[in-house]
Amino acid sequence: MLLSKRVQAVKPSPTLAIDSKAKSLKAQGIDIISFGTGEPDFDTPQNIKNFAIDAINKGFTKYCPVAGTVELKEAVINKLKLDNNLNYTKEEIIISCGGKHSLYNLFQTIFDDGDEVIIPAPYWVSYPDMAILAGAKPVFINTSDKNHFKVTASDIQKVITPKTKAFILNSPSNPTGNTYTEQDLKEIANVCLKNKVLIISDEMYEKLVYDNFKFYSIAQISEEVKKNTVVVNGVSKAFAMTGWRIGYTAGPAEIIKAMTKIQSQSTSCPTSISLKAATEALNGPKEALEVMRKEFEKRRNYIVERLNKIKGITCLKPEGAFYVFPNISGLLNKSYNGKMINTDTEFVEYLLDNARIAVVPGSAFGASGYMRLSYATSMENIVEGLNRLEKAIEIL
Ligand code: GLU
């Protein structure tokens, strides 16, 4: 067999698969409205682009330090201090090629074959497969819209075994947009500390919060919790910089040093121009962030209200990210043209083929009976996409 067992054990990213399917249909001239990928539709703010162009013109186009430039590390340290009241040193920070790469390197660094990692479901599509690639076994805790897609400390305690190495927290969450309060986090942190389970806190959607929700990092709870936590964040979502691929990790120096070793043997360093752009994103003016955040909030309000008016759909109003995760179980087991639609995957295929809208099935995130809509697309697209959704449901 040509392919390794490792690669055969994982599947391609479903979010990226839907994105490329929608893009290829569009390229064929088919009028698709995509609620697929979680990618801001806004352009990267001009000051960031100018900074990067300037860096190119000045010849900043060579290899950089493996773990990222000192100036970007300092910008990250400053950000963590100002926004989260967290103190880190440069030895506790590594910059990688996107949050996904940060997580990938982290998983390769901490997991041995057979280690268990606790992942609340619905989860972001890449956690389980990245864990499997690192030899670890994902252990899921299922949640539903009834409990606002949240796990409790006692849910976590129940699945902990001597093999449990880490717990993944993602608040605000992709795909549900749900958030954990400070009190929820304290309880979760305690159970992890008590059982020596490392906390991986994916804070990628920190800046996208609504209704005056105040983001709180689990690492802020105490020095002891901070030492037991690895924080992953990046510039992709907050600054509309998905293509620049810059993520960062803050955590114990021992872990960061080991991640740096892995990075030195794979990508050498993140892209020089992107390091410059991310430095400007973190150090420069932040007005553009608030403009985008407000627009996302407006879209969220609209999309949630309209979805809840559709018979068969119920949708929570999430406090963060740019996703909604409606329950569509009331729309399943119906037929179209004599063909049954029994699962969320079949429903999503029906929407793509007949309504020309792209969404991601809940099962891709480990939660069947739901679908994820990203509202990181224009209001015009959202209105038209929901009109199409309504019509497609009426004829079932
Ligand atoms: N994180 C985004 C999403 O969930 C981008 C695609 C990906 O990396 O999964 O749609």
Give the tens place of pLDDT for each residue, 356-387.
999 999 999 999 999 999 999 999 999 999 99
Q: Is 37 in the pocket of ligand 1 (CB under 6 A)?
A: yes
pLDDT given for residue 37 in this prediction: 85
Q: What is the pLDDT of residues 203-257, one digit of tens each?
A: 999 999 999 999 999 999 999 999 999 999 999 999 999 999 999 999 999 999 9
Structure tokens at 287: 């007005």
Which 3 state secondary structure label does DSSP give 107?
helix
pLDDT given for residue 242 in this prediction: 97
Cα 320 from Cα 315, distance rounded (Å): 14
Helix (H) or strand (E) holding 360: strand 360-361
pLDDT given for residue 21 in this prediction: 85
pLDDT given for residue 361 in this prediction: 96
Q: Averaged over 81-106, what is the pLDDT?
A: 98
What is the atom index within ligand 1 of the atom nearest the CA of 13?
Answer: 9
Q: Is 100 in the pocket of ligand 1 (CB under 6 A)?
A: yes
Q: Is 38 in the pocket of ligand 1 (CB under 6 A)?
A: yes
Cα 173 from Cα 175, distance rounded (Å): 6
Q: Which residues of 82-107 are buried (b: 16+ CB within 10 A; e: fewer)?
A: eebebebeeebbbbbbbbbbbbbbbb
Ligand 1 atom 2: the closest Cα is on which residue?
Answer: 38
Q: Averaged over 161-177, what is the pLDDT?
A: 98
Q: What is the percent of the chain where pLDDT is above 90?
A: 96
- Based on its alpha-carbon atoms, the radius of gyration of the chain, rounded to whole angstroms, reads 21
Q: Is the pLDDT of residue 97 over 90?
A: yes
Ligand 1 atom 3: the closest Cα is on which residue?
Answer: 38
More confident residue, 24 or 66: 66
Q: How far is the CA of 38 from the centre of ligand 1 (A)?
A: 5
Cis, bond preceding 122 (omega within 30 deg of 0)? yes
Helix (H) or strand (E) holding 214: none
Q: Is 245 in the pocket of ligand 1 (CB under 6 A)?
A: no
pLDDT given for residue 19 in this prediction: 84
pLDDT range class, residue 18, cuts 50, 70, 90: confident
What is the atom index within ligand 1 of the atom nearest the CA of 374?
Answer: 10
Q: Is the pLDDT of residue 95 over 90?
A: yes
Q: What is the DSSP string of 116-158?
A: EEEEEES--THHHHHHHHTT-EEEEEE--GGGTT---HHHHHH
Q: Is 13 in the pocket of ligand 1 (CB under 6 A)?
A: yes
What is the atom index within ligand 1 of the atom nearest the CA of 100?
Answer: 8
pLDDT range class, residue 110, cuts 50, 70, 90: very high
Q: Give the residue, out of 101, 102, 123, 125, with the most ligand 1 atoms within 8 A of its beta carbon, to mutate for a pocket test.
A: 125
Look over the chain and give the mean of its residue pLDDT values, rounded to a whole number.
97
Q: What is the pLDDT of residues 43-93, one digit of tens each?
A: 999 999 999 999 999 999 999 999 999 999 999 999 999 999 999 999 999
Q: Is 15 in the pocket of ligand 1 (CB under 6 A)?
A: yes
Q: How far is the CA of 338 from the centre of ligand 1 (A)?
A: 34
